[in-house]
């Protein structure tokens, strides 16, 4: 399985989820708000103080993810 295959499957899943939200009438949650709620107070404080590198490192340690994943996640906030 290639990276393109994964992104293609992810796109299909996103469409299916959006379709389910529309069909059920349930409002779709704001993804950024949801992501922020899943971040520790420490990471939120580092971001609020402008320490993006510290926030990436802290999130990486807490979530046990690699550097590119942590960077993308923190930058999405």
33 domain residue, yes or no = no
Same domain, 22 and 54: no
Q: Tell me how many degrees the CA angle 35-60-64 measures, rounded to the nearest 5.
A: 95
* Per-residue confidence (pLDDT) for residue 28, from 0 to 100: 82
Q: For residue 51, what are its two tokens?
A: 């320490």
Same domain, 51 and 75: yes
> Which residues constitute the domain of residue 14?
1-28
pLDDT < 50 positions in the chain: none
* Per-residue confidence (pLDDT) for residue 34, from 0 to 100: 66
**Coil, helix or strand for 60?**
helix
Q: What are phi and psi of 64, to 5 degrees?
A: 55, 50
23 domain residue, yes or no = yes
pTM score above 0.85: no
Transcribe 10-47 into DSSP letters. HHHHHHHHHHHHHHHTPPPPPHHHHHHHTS-HHHHHHH
* Per-residue confidence (pLDDT) for residue 76, from 0 to 100: 84
């Amino acid at each position: 399985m290639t990276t393109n295959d994964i992104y293609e499957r992810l796109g299909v899943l996103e469409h299916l989820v959006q379709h389910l939200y529309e069909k059920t009438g349930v409002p779709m949650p704001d993804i950024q708000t949801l992501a922020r709620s899943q971040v520790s107070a420490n990471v939120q404080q580092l971001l609020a103080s402008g320490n993006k590198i510290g926030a990436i490192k802290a999130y990486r340690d807490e979530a046990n993810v690699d550097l590119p994943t942590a960077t993308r996640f923190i930058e999405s906030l």
